[in-house]
Structure 1
Amino acid sequence: MKKHKNMKRRVKNLVEKYNTSNPYLLCKKLNIEIKYDYFKDIKGFFRRILRRKYIVINENLDEYSRLVVLCHELGHALYHSSKNTLLLKNNFLCYAPELENEANEFAVELMKYQEEVSYETARDCDLGLRILEEMKRYTKN
Structure 2
Amino acid sequence: MKNLIYIFVLGLFIYSCSATKNRDFNQQEVTANANDTVRIANDSLEYEIIVIEPGFNLFINSIARPRGYYTQSYLENKNKFLVQEYNSRVAQPFSYNPNLYIQEINYDSSVDYGYEVNYMLYNYFVFFSREYNQRFSVSTRI
TM-score by length of 1: 0.27
Which of structures 1 and 2 has the larger relative contact order (alpha carbons within 8 angstroms, sep 6+)? 1
TM-score by length of 2: 0.27
Higher strand share: 1
Q: Which has the larger radius of gyration?
A: 2
